Amino acid sequence: MKKTRSTPEVHIGPLKMGGDNPIVIQSMTNTDTSDIDATVAQALELAHAGAQVIRMTVNDEAAAKAVPEIITRVRTQFELNPMAFVGDFHFNGNKLLKAVPDCAQALDKYRINPGNADDTNFKEMVEIAVQHQKAVRIGVNGGSLDQKVLDNLMELNAQSPTPLAAGNIFIKAMVKSALNSAQLAESYGLKKNQIVVSVKISEVNQVVAAYQSVAEQSDYCLHLGLTEAGSGLQGVVQSSVALGILLNQNIGDTIRVSLTPNKNVPRSEEVEVCKQILQSLDLQRFRPKVVSCPGCGRTTSTFFQDLALRVNNLIDQELSHWKKEFPGVENLNIAVMGCVVNGPGESKNSDIAISLPGKMEKAQAPVYIDGQLSVWLKGDAIENQFIEILKDYIKTRFA
């Protein structure tokens, strides 16, 4: 699926987003930025997982002073893809950027939250961006919406003969704040192709409505995200639903999934979810796809589940090596099915597939290659034999 909403191409350091460029994945560190070692380590984790843009908090002078070294060290240690670095500024961004010009120069983009920047702060941050030729994200957030904008719209709504619900006014205020601020930034000298806009809210229907409205009213490059999505499954599902709807409508140039940290889950989970979202929508491929059925009363053993798991584990272990040796391997489609009900159909739609025997079926498993029945596997070694056939297929097809 190709993007059809036309946005300007924005250059963020060595990285290009918007225009016809693929959707960019980004994430944010949650270390104390002044702790250079910890921030470099986490930025590298995110980069290796596939984040192309990494944002870090710049909340005080120690953080600002740490930024240049962090960027240099990450760029030196990670040369696989072009990376861009963003500083997240709020109440004192202008003071920090003026006090630490090396930080202003080292960053590729400044994130400015109009709700947390007074007029002087906002103007001076944009002017510094213009001076250093940096991109800016106007990042409006539902939790820190500019109260003046909301109050004005609420007052007008109260006087209207057909007032809208408060939730609708809130969305209007988010959009107005973002677009007014972006236009103000242009009036201070920033070009349209140096501006990215976001309108993050923590509620799925509202965030979808807000981005749709921005997309209807402007052609700014858009950073999509559901803010404060929560932790675990809730955060993953809510973010996937919101971003999936918008991306499917060709809205969005870069995405971030904001998950509440869990000490048992790496920060790079955010990046993995972004990749899954883009792959689910066929926008980009990152790893071979494994179709496997959910199982039912026709499968009395865990045989096909074990094989599906083993195939997925093999992909996880071998993917970085396969990508170097076998270019295009991420486009492979594999099916591991539990019985002959849907097995043959899915097998014919996959590059390589196996249907395990269900209850009462003969203890044999058909393997399909390129949609054609290739061999029947029998006996105790079916699992190992299929793994070997899969490896050989990859070697032959993608060599």
Distance, CA of 110 to CA of 107 (rounded, Å): 7
Q: Is the CB of residue 52 less than 8 Å from the CB of residue 25?
A: yes
Region binding ligand SF4 by CB under 6 A among candidate stretches 59-67, 319-327, 331-339, 371-379: 331-339
Region binding ligand SF4 by CB under 6 A among candidate stretches 47-55, 77-85, 261-269, 334-342: 334-342
Beta bridge partners of 11: 16
List the one residue out of 22, 43, 17, 85 whose CA is nearest residue 278: 22
Count the neighbouring beta carbons within 10 Å of the beta carbon of residue 297. Answer: 7
Q: Which residues contact 238 (CB under 8 A, 6 or more apart)?
A: 204, 226, 229, 230
Binding residue (CB under 6 A) for ligand SF4 from 58, 74, 337, 352: 337
Q: Is the CB of residue 123 less than 8 Å from the CB of residue 188?
A: yes
Residue closer to ligand SF4 by CB (options 115, 343) is: 343
Residue closer to ligand SF4 by CB (options 290, 319) is: 290
**CB-nearest residue to ligand SF4:** 338
Residue closer to ligand SF4 by CB (options 212, 333) is: 333
354 binds ligand SF4 (CB under 6 A): no
Nearest-approach distance from CB 386 to ligand SF4, in angstroms: 16
342 binds ligand SF4 (CB under 6 A): yes
Angle between helical axes of 166-187 and 119-132 (0-180°, round to 10): 50
Region binding ligand SF4 by CB under 6 A among candidate stretches 161-169, 318-326, 338-346, 369-377: 338-346
Q: Sign of the CA dihedral 301, 305, 311, 313?
A: negative
Q: Is the CB of residue 114 less than 8 Å from the CB of residue 146?
A: yes
Nearest-approach distance from CB 362 to ligand SF4, in angstroms: 15
Nearest-approach distance from CB 377 to ligand SF4, in angstroms: 17
Q: Is the CB of residue 128 less than 8 Å from the CB of residue 97?
A: yes
Angle between helical axes of 269-280 and 232-248 (0-180°, round to 10): 40
Residue closer to ligand SF4 by CB (options 199, 339) is: 339
358 binds ligand SF4 (CB under 6 A): yes
Nearest-approach distance from CB 358 to ligand SF4, in angstroms: 5
Nearest-approach distance from CB 359 to ligand SF4, in angstroms: 9
Q: Which parts of 285-304 interact with ligand SF4 (CB under 6 A)?
A: 293-296, 298-299
Tokens linked to 3: 């993007």
List the one residue out of 362, 333, 365 whose CA is nearest residue 349: 333
What are the C-alpha distances in Å from 34 to residues 27, 42, 43? Answer: 18, 13, 13
Nearest-approach distance from CB 367 to ligand SF4, in angstroms: 16
Residue closer to ligand SF4 by CB (options 54, 339) is: 339
Q: Is the CB of residue 244 less than 8 Å from the CB of residue 218?
A: no
6 φ, ψ to 5°? -90, 120
Nearest-approach distance from CB 340 to ligand SF4, in angstroms: 7
100 φ, ψ to 5°? -125, 80
User: Applying CB under 6 A, what is the total number of residues that bind ligand SF4?
Assistant: 13
Nearest-approach distance from CB 296 to ligand SF4, in angstroms: 3
Residue closer to ligand SF4 by CB (options 225, 338) is: 338
Nearest-approach distance from CB 338 to ligand SF4, in angstroms: 3
341 binds ligand SF4 (CB under 6 A): yes
Rule CB under 6 A: which residues touch ligand SF4?
293-296, 298-299, 337-339, 341-343, 358
